[in-house]
Homo-oligomer: A and B are copies of this chain.
Amino acid sequence: MACGTEDLKEGGIYLLNCPWSLEELETRLPAKVKRDLCRKHAQFYIIDAAKLAAEIGLGKRTNSILQAAFFALTKVIPLDVAVEDMKKNNYNSYFKKAGQKIVDLNNQAVDVGISAAVPVEIPASWADAVDAPAPEIEATPFVKDIVLPMDRQQGDKLPVSVFQKHGVLDGTWENGTSAYAKRGVATKVPKWDGDKCAQCNRCAATCPHAAIRPVLLTDAEKAEVPASFQTVPAKGLGKDAPSYAYRMQISPYDCLGCGVCLTACPVEGALTMTPFEEMKEEQHNFDAVAMNERYLKPDVISDKNMKSIQFAKPYFQFSAACAGCAETTYIKLVSQLVGDHMYIGNAAGCSSAYSGGAPILPYCKDQRGFGPAWEHSLFEDNAEFAYGFFHAQDAIRKEILLRLESLREAGVAVDAIDAYLANWNDREQSRAVSDALIAALEPAEKTADVAFVLENKEYLSKKSIWAIGGDGWAYDIGFGGIDHVLAQNQDVNLMVLDTEVYSNTGGQSSKATPTAAVAKFASGGKQIAKKDLGAIFMNYGYVYVAQVAIGYDQAQTLKAIREAEAYPGPSLIICYCPCLEQHIKAGMSCTQTEMKKAVECGYWQLYRYDPRRTAQGLNPFQLDSPEPDTSKLMDYLMGENRFASLKNNFPDRADALYEKAICDIKARYEKYRKMADSTNV
C-alpha cells in the first residue's frame, strides 16, 4: 500500500479521508504511516467525507468536500477567494450538465468541507510503531514478482530481468491477476438475507464486478466449509435436481458498493447495504468457497436460463470498470457461456481500459488452464484483428485435418481420428473428441504428423471468436472494418457495448448518440438520429444481428448471445449500456433499472435477426420489445442529464429537439414493427 507519507515533508500537513474515529486510528494505520507522521512531526487531520457527502445529499460524491478541506488546511490562496472560486467552478461544472440543485449541493459541500477536518494528536509511541508480520500472500510467482509490486505503484522499479525470467518480454500477461487487487474501496457492501432471497440470481447477473455469486453445496460440502458460510435450501432448480444448499456470497474486497445488485433484486430486504467493516470477514467465504471450482455444480449449470448460467464460473471478474458499469455484465455473461474456449479482440475504449489495465487482468483461467485469450487492438481495426484470430486458428486446424487424414491412412489412432473428423467443428462435441484424440496420440510413435498435432493441441477444439468494443468503435471509427469482417460470412462474433457516447475519452458524440443528447461535439444537442447499426447489417441477410438490454430482459439477452455464438456465420450483438457519461439522475446504482425504463418507453428496442430462420421459411426478424408506452418517453429523457441539460442551456431550442428525438425513436420502433409483421424481410 502506498500512503504518501514517504513523500511527506518535515512538519507537513497530512489529511486522511477515512470513516475511523480518533481511537480507531491506532489499530487501522499501518506502522510505516505512524512512524512517518510522528518522526516528520506532521500536522495530521482526518475527515469522513463519505459520511458528510451522504448527509448533504451528494451520495458518494466527496470531491467538493475534500477540495474545500484542502484549501482550508493548506491556505495556498486566501480561503475566502478559494471559496468564491470553488463555488464559481461548481456553477461552471454542474449547471449545464445537472442544473442549479446540484450546484447548490456542491456549494453546501464547500461550506461543510472547510471546517470538517479534525486534527489528530500524534502519540509519541508512533515513532517506533511496528506492524505485526504480514501474512504471506498466496500467489503465483508472476503475481508476486510483477503484479504486486505494480499494484504498490512500484512498477517502474521492476528490472527487465524479472520479465525475462517469466518469459513475458512480448507483453504476455498472466490471466486472472485482477483477483489479487482486492481494493476494498466500498464503504458499504450488500449483506445477503437467505430467508428473504428468491434465489433468482439477478444480483449476480447484474454485478459489474462478479463480486456476488451464488453457490450450491451438497450436505457433505456444507460440512467442510467455514461455519460462517450460512446457507438456505436451494429452490427452483428443477424437479430432478439434488437437494443443494444455496448461498449468495459477496466479496467485500472486490465489491465497489455500486448498489446495482439491490436495484436489480426483486425482493425488498434480500440484500441490504451494510458497512464494509461489518462485512469484510466474509471475504474468506468468498475466496474459499465461491471461488473454489470444486464446488461448481455441472449438473445445474446450463445456458438455458439466466439463473442456471449464474452458477457457472465467470472467466471475467474484478475488472477496473466504474461502479455500476453495465458493459461488464455482458462480457461476464459471455465468459460464463464460452470463456474456456474464447478468443477476444478488444477495441480501444472503456472495455480495453478495464480489461487490460496492467497489472490487473480480469480474464482468468480455470483449474484446467482454460480461459479466454484476450488482446487489445485499436479503435480502427479491432474487428479485423479478431478476424485474424479466426483465420490463424482456422489455418492451423485445417493443416491438422490434413495431418490426421494422413495418420488415419497410416492406421494410427483411427477411431479417435474418425470421431474427431466427424465432430471437429461441432461446438458441443469438439472438446471431448479433441481430448480423446490427444489421449490416443500421446502414446503413439512421434512421427512428424503426430508431433505436429500434439504441438498444436490447443487448436484442436473449436474456439469462440469475439470482437468486443464500444459504440465509438462499432458505429464510428471501426465501422468500415466491422462491415468488412461481417461481410465475409465467417464465424466471428461482434459485441458492441453501446453507451451512445465515447465514454472512455470523456463523452464525445458518436453516431450512436441519439437526437437531442448533449455531448462533446454536440453541445447544442445532437441534431441527427442515432445510426441504426443493426438494420445496416441485416441487409446482408447472412449476419446474425441482435439488440439487447440485460436490465430489461435477461432471458432475451442470454438467448441472443447463445444464438449468436451458435450461429456458424458472423454475428453482431448490440448491448445497451447506461453509463456515467449519460448522467443518469437516479445514479449509477440504477443502470439496470434505467435499461428497463428505456425498453418500456420504446427508447431502446430488443430484437433478434437470425438468418437460419430464412431457410426455414420464417421471418428472420423477431421483435422482442413489448409494445412501448411512448407517453413515458419524455419522462425517460428527463431522467438523464444528457437530455435534460439541453433545456437548461438552450431553453428555446430544446423542445423542438426533444420532439424530433421522440419522433426518431418512434419511427425506429415502427420500422422494426413492420419488419416483424412482414412474412419475410
Contact = CB atoms under 8 A, between A and B. Distances in A.
Contact of A479 (B480, B527, B667, B674): B480
B480 A483 contact: yes
A210 to B, nearest CB: 34
Contacts of A540: 529, 531-532
A477 B541 CA distance: 22
A484 interface: yes
Interface in A340-371: none
Contacts of A532: 539-540
B542 A528 contact: yes
A487 to B, nearest CB: 5
A489 B535 contact: no
B667 A678 contact: no
A481 B480 CA distance: 8
Copies of this chain:
2
A26 B481 CA distance: 62
A134 interface: no
A488 interface: yes
Contact of A528 (B481, B488, B531): B488
A479 B483 contact: yes
A476 interface: yes
A477 B535 CA distance: 21
Contacts of A597: none
A487 B528 contact: yes
Interface in A511-557: 511, 527-529, 531-532, 535-536, 539-542
Contact of A539 (B476, B479, B489, B536): B536
Contacts of A528: 487-489, 542
Interface in A210-260: none
Interface in A468-493: 476-481, 483-484, 487-489
Interface string A640-678: 000000000000000000000000000100000010001
Contacts of A481: 480
A489 B541 contact: no
Contacts of A476: 484
A540 B664 CA distance: 11
Interface string A426-438: 0000000000000
Nearest to A488: B528
A539 B675 CA distance: 13
B487 A531 contact: yes
A33 B674 CA distance: 75
A479 B481 CA distance: 9
Contacts of A529: 540-541
A97 to B, nearest CB: 25
A587 B481 CA distance: 36
A568 B478 CA distance: 28
A476 B483 CA distance: 9
A678 B489 CA distance: 30
Contact of A480 (B480, B531, B541): B480
A300 to B, nearest CB: 41
A667 B541 contact: yes
A541 B529 CA distance: 9
Contacts of A527: 489
B539 A535 contact: yes
A613 to B, nearest CB: 15
A398 to B, nearest CB: 16
A527 B478 CA distance: 25
Contacts of A484: 476, 479, 511
A511 B487 contact: yes
A527 B488 CA distance: 9
Contacts of A539: 531-532, 535-536, 539
A52 to B, nearest CB: 46
A634 to B, nearest CB: 22
Nearest to A533: B539
A528 to B, nearest CB: 5
Nearest to A527: B489
Contacts of A489: 527-528
Nearest to A670: B680
A536 B481 CA distance: 15
Nearest to A681: B671
A531 B486 CA distance: 11
Nearest to A490: B528
8 contacts: A479-B480, A479-B483, A479-B484, A480-B481, A480-B483, A487-B528, A536-B536, A541-B667
Given A480-B480, A483-B511, A532-B539, 12 more contacts: A479-B479, A479-B483, A480-B483, A487-B511, A487-B531, A489-B528, A529-B541, A531-B539, A532-B540, A535-B539, A539-B539, A674-B678
Interface of A: 476-481, 483-484, 487-489, 511, 527-529, 531-532, 535-536, 539-542, 667, 674, 678
7 closest residue pairs by CB, A with B? A480-B480, A479-B480, A535-B539, A489-B528, A536-B536, A532-B539, A487-B511
